[in-house]
Structure 1
Amino acid sequence: MASLTSMTLRGVTFLVTALAVAGCAGPQIEPLMPTPILFSELNLSPLDNIPEDQRWKPRKVYYATTRQRDVDLQRINYGNDESDVISAGMSLIGFGGDSLTWSDLSDYSRSAERPNVVELSVAGLLEAGKFRPSMEGPVSENAAEGLAWLMADMNRSIASARDKDLLIYVHGAKVNFYNANAFAAQLDHFMGRDMTSIAFSWPTRQNILSYGIGDDVDRAYRAAPSLASLIEVLAGQSDARRINIVCWSAGGRVVTSALEELYNRNKGSGQDPREQFRLGTVYFAAADVPTSDFVEALPEINGLVDRVVVTLSSKDGALDMGSTFMGGGARIGQKSQDLTEEALNTLIAADRLEVIDVSRDWEGRGFDITGHRYWINHPWASSDLVLAVRSDLRAKERGLEPTELDVLWAIPADYPERLKSLLTREGVRLREVSTADDAN
């Protein structure tokens, strides 16, 4: 994502003024995720290659949301009500307080242990406009014409970035609009602050009961056509090389349904869907998607994307409870599953699928990788996410260990050493991984 230096002086003034008018979003705090080991083991910082004139702690993230904007003249706020339009704009995410320097942030971002917590907060919001999603066929060419200046700003961001990809983050249940933006910003941060990132926020409520009884599950599926329409707009109007997606937990339902719909409502276009939509890596982290639903949608998803990555763990309490009390069978983020022969054959036939069992061979490592936030909280798991999105490297090239199934991979005990070898052989460093893509 481009720094503010890539914008015109007039554009900078407009953004700063708009954020000042919008006002602070309030005490919405998210701690910066632990440092992935690909940085801590090699003593690299994701900020090492940011030019001096771009070393500004806050980070700009674009957003698209199907939350209804609250009627509040003091500041922009998106609540829990559903909207029939997509609101889009940009947010400014602060990293740490005034006492935290750029040098501190860079050091903390390479360190396995930090002396202080780095808090992320929404410093301001700017809404650019709205557009109506398509609920049946492809979105119309002029659907988002009111967002012309936002798309122009996004394309300037893409043009000035070393990595020309877009990253869409789709959150899980029980979070608010601000959480989605903060998560997108910290993923962007550890991608080297050199991609253009978008938070897609769907209107889940901030209590697990709403999800557990199924109301927010329905909301997830109702948000899927909007995500499909957003992808169509980005593919048609952005200059992105690839559009990547990272989804977590219930966000996996939104993404699964959106991609299935995107494929089906455009399959009569006569175009190659991979060329048409330029979808790169779609990363399902600890996803609360019923396995039967995912397997059914997988052929369409496989026909759309460059790569599908699914992570699973042996001990994910949220998914265990969900499959037990909500019904729908096992989830794709769960390790223990009884797959039918037909389902297994569908998985094997998906030539772009990588399933990563983060618990496999945990005895050899001496620890398991568990919980529902392991994909962002465990430095080994988050390292693969960064590499999978920031490069075109396949699982084996990212240091993962093959298993008896072609689609199934494990994180080996010598994973840190493999990362060191990967990122240092022939002088290759993390900062150069994305540029190596262009030769492929």
Structure 2
Amino acid sequence: MTRARLPRAVRGLVMSRLTLLLVMMGLLSACSSATLRLMPTPTLLTQGEPTLFDTGSVSARSTAIEVLYATNRLPLGSSDKRSYSRTRSADLRLGVATLRVGDGTKTWESLQAMSTSAVEGERPEISLIAAREMAVLEADASAAGPDAEAFFALVDELLARSGDRDLLIYLHGARTDFDRAAAQAAQFQHFMGPDTVVMVF
């Protein structure tokens, strides 16, 4: 079974509406570090494109969402369990953030149903589970090292698997912490489906 692909014209319309909604959310909560909740389902997904979530891969049927990240925030913790402060540095850190929709008890089937219908009521939270830092591009480095090359190879692999060769980079608003920025990027990844590769800066 192959993954269902969202037509390019529809993907563009969905992305434009998602962008507008996330910008509005960012303006309303730019100074907040509170946990983000799953946005309301875009109208197009409640009326005509529910097959976006009909993936043939059993392993992809999960409430966990992965997004790439590139950040110049100062790191905290070990490289496999990173968190990042709001203090900036001269170095660029690259990795993969894993987020989860709900508290761990929600099933893929219930998330799929919620993501393809206009369900009323409180939406589940999106929480950062882990940030795996893969490489650091130091400000004074003359060339990328092997760790950075491995990260770039991962990006190339993800783009090759997707139906769209574009990398969507989400740039958050002012005073937004890393967890919230990653959660907003995860919403793009979730609602755009497997044909989109998302990175948060």
Which bracket does the TM-score occupy, shorter chain normalised?
0.7 to 0.9
- Partner residue, 2:97: 91
Task: Write the deviation string for residues 65-116 of structure 1: whole angstroms up to 9, x where unpaired.
Answer: 111113x459422101110110111110111122211111111011122454
After superposition, residues 22-421 of structure 1 pair within 5 angstroms as 29-42=35-48, 44=50, 46-70=52-76, 72=77, 75-133=81-139, 142-143=143-144, 145-200=146-201
Query: Shift in Å at residue 33 of structure 1?
Result: 1.0
Q: Matched residues in 1 for 2:190 and 2:70: separation?
A: 19
TM-score (norm 1): 0.35
CA contact (8 A) 1:85 1:132 kept: yes
Q: Matched residues in 2 for 1:64 and 1:48: separation?
A: 29
Cα 1:163/1:115, change in 2 over 3 Å: same
Aligned residues: 169
Q: Which sections of structure 2, spanning at least 5 residues, go unmatched?
A: 1-32
Q: Matched residues in 2 for 1:34 and 1:166: separation?
A: 24
Q: Which has the higher contact order (CA 8 A, sep 6+)?
A: 2
- Structure having the higher strand fraction is 2
Q: Which amino acid aligns with 1:192?
A: G
Q: Which amino acid aligns with 1:95?
A: V
Q: Matched residues in 2 for 1:69 and 1:49: separation?
A: 35
Query: Shift in Å at residue 28 of structure 1?
Result: 6.6
CA contact (8 A) 1:62 1:197 kept: yes
Cα 1:189/1:50, change in 2 over 3 Å: farther
SS at match of 1:128: strand
Task: Write the deviation string for residues 8-29 of structure 1: whole angstroms up to 9, x where unpaired.
Answer: xxxxxxxxxxxxxxxxxxx972
Cα 1:61/1:82, change in 2 over 3 Å: same
CA contact (8 A) 1:46 1:109 kept: no
SS at match of 2:176: coil
CA contact (8 A) 2:66 2:96 kept: yes
Task: Write the deviation string for residues 336-356 of structure 1: whole angstroms up to 9, x where unpaired.
Answer: xxxxxxxxxxxxxxxxxxxxx
Task: Write the deviation string for residues 198-250 of structure 1: whole angstroms up to 9, x where unpaired.
Answer: 100xxxxxxxxxxxxxxxxxxxxxxxxxxxxxxxxxxxxxxxxxxxxxxxxxx
Cα 1:115/1:92, change in 2 over 3 Å: same
Q: Matched residues in 2 for 1:151 and 1:85: separation?
A: 17
Q: Which amino acid aligns with 1:104?
A: S
Greater Rg by CA: 1
Q: Matched residues in 1 for 2:177 and 2:56: separation?
A: 30
Q: Matched residues in 1 for 2:114 and 2:90: separation?
A: 41
Q: Matched residues in 1 for 2:86 and 2:121: separation?
A: 36
Q: Which sections of structure 1, spanning at least 5 residues, go unmatched?
A: 1-26, 201-440
Query: Shift in Å at residue 41 of structure 1?
Result: 2.5
- Structure having the higher helix fraction is 1
SS at match of 1:56: coil
Q: Which amino acid aligns with 1:165?
A: D
Q: Which amino acid aligns with 1:187?
A: F
Query: Shift in Å at residue 34 of structure 1?
Result: 1.0
Q: Which amino acid aligns with 1:42?
A: G
Task: Write the deviation string for residues 228-287 of structure 1: whole angstroms up to 9, x where unpaired.
Answer: xxxxxxxxxxxxxxxxxxxxxxxxxxxxxxxxxxxxxxxxxxxxxxxxxxxxxxxxxxxx
